[in-house]
Amino acid sequence: MRELRYREALREAMTEEMVRDERVFIMGEEVGHYQGAYKVTEGMLAQFGEKRVMDTPIAEEGFAGIAIGAAMVGLRPIVEFMTWNFSAVAFDQILSNATKLRQMSGGQFTVPIVFRGPNGAARQTAAQHSHAMETFYAQIPGLKVVVPSTAADAKGLMASAIRDDNPVLVLEDERLYGIKGEVPEGEHLVPIGVAAVRRAGTQCTIATWGKMVPVSLEAAELLAAEGVQCEVIDLRSLRPLDHGTVATSVRKTGRLVIVHEAWPYGGPGAELSDRVQRDCFDSLRAPIVRCTGRDASMPYNKKLEELTIPGSATVTQAVRAVMAY
């Protein structure tokens, strides 16, 4: 084990996979000569050259389509969106081609491709650059969607995504790129579709993902001082969704709070709530509560932004509500 930053762990996974398999390459805006908009690909151009680290024009639909075609003929592309907000331009390529070509060709083609980049709000990126895009993508058959919250998972989930024969979306987070954590040396794979229990507890389950994991853990610490022991589950994968780990926890605690940054209408949080109420109805001691981003476009003002995204105070308030029911 050694300590790496989240961005360094992502880079290490991609580098190791590119060394292991010459079919793997990366393309996107500023991934090469600029070293990556968030320095995730720093040094990779010098190591692998321009045939495997490719700078692209500002044309997400175009380079997403090129990468899908490359995957169909046997290569294994990694496509970086400078932000997942820009993936909206390439949505048709992902929705209508990447996810459907295997089925439409009767298995004659596979599409082993990774789409990656920062997701959700950063700091004062305002209304058009703060979308939590998992709400859109997690409902599409044929896609896998993973959201690493730690440096170790950043490496392990990225490596698993690159090796998968299906299109995988890796939703990173600009606010997490600089965090440090212990990461295993050498090959490290985290299975897609398996959640992690980040904190054990007996009185309330908190299910969450991405940058809401550290927020939820902070809330759990505050609640522990009040005598409330929360179990915090990091879903890590939104499609496939490990509702079994959440259900096991809820049968123990009898309560569930789902925390996510995305808008409240629909999405993985609503899906998880539906599954748990059907599977664990007799175990629930209170209604399931979702602590979400506000149902509004993101303001630019820093104080208003803080009120729009869940924080530890709003999570503790939600847990207190289910405990008092």
With contact defined as beta carbons under 8 Å apart, do 319 and 228 qualify?
yes
Positive or negative: CA dihedral 31, 34, 37, 38: positive
Q: Which domain-ending residue is among 183, 214, 235?
A: 183
Residue 189 falls within a domain, yes or no? no
Of 207, 147, 164, 160, residue with least CA distance to 187 = 160
- Give residue 172's identity as a one-letter amino acid code: E
What Cα–Cα distance (Å) separates residue 313 from each residue in 120, 198, 286, 318?
A: 20, 19, 20, 9
What Cα–Cα distance (Å) separates residue 141 from each residue in 55, 98, 100?
A: 30, 11, 8
Residue 32 falls within a domain, yes or no? yes
Residue 183: beta bridge partners?
2
With contact defined as beta carbons under 8 Å apart, do 197 and 245 qualify?
yes
62 and 148 fall within a common domain:
yes
Residue 191 falls within a domain, yes or no? no
User: Residue 177's domain is classified under what CATH number?
Assistant: 3.40.50.970
Residue 225 falls within a domain, yes or no? yes
Beta strands in 88-192 (DSSP E): 114-118, 144-146, 168-172, 180-183
245 and 317 fall within a common domain:
yes
Residue 179 falls within a domain, yes or no? yes
- Give residue 44's identity as a one-letter amino acid code: M
175 and 57 fall within a common domain:
yes
109 and 244 fall within a common domain:
no
User: Residue 262's domain is classified under what CATH number?
Assistant: 3.40.50.920
- Domain boundaries, position 178: 2-183
Of 245, 248, 293, 297, residue with least CA distance to 269 = 293
List phi, psi (to 5°) of 5.
Answer: -75, 155
**Confidence (pLDDT) at 1:** 85
Provide the number of structural domains found in the chain.
2
Alpha-carbon distance of 251 to 229, in angstroms, equals 15
With contact defined as beta carbons under 8 Å apart, do 32 and 55 qualify?
yes
210 and 306 fall within a common domain:
yes
| Cβ contacts of 3 within 8 Å, gap of 6 or more | 151, 180, 181, 182, 183
pLDDT, one tens digit for every residue, the chain (325 residues)? 899 999 999 999 999 999 999 999 999 999 999 999 999 999 999 999 999 999 999 999 999 999 999 999 999 999 999 999 999 999 999 999 999 999 999 999 999 999 999 999 988 888 899 899 999 999 999 999 999 999 999 999 999 999 999 999 999 999 999 999 999 999 999 999 999 999 999 999 999 999 999 999 999 999 999 999 999 999 999 999 999 999 999 999 999 999 999 999 999 999 999 999 999 999 999 999 999 999 999 889 989 988 999 999 999 999 999 999 9
Beta strands in 135-248 (DSSP E): 144-146, 168-172, 180-183, 196-199, 204-208, 230-234, 237-239
99 and 152 fall within a common domain:
yes
**Confidence (pLDDT) at 203:** 98
Alpha-carbon distance of 23 to 76, in angstroms, equals 6
Q: Which domain-ending residue is among 148, 183, 218?
A: 183
Active site residues: 60, 129
Residue 188 falls within a domain, yes or no? no
Residue 145 falls within a domain, yes or no? yes
82 and 176 fall within a common domain:
yes
Q: Which domain-ending residue is among 126, 157, 183?
A: 183
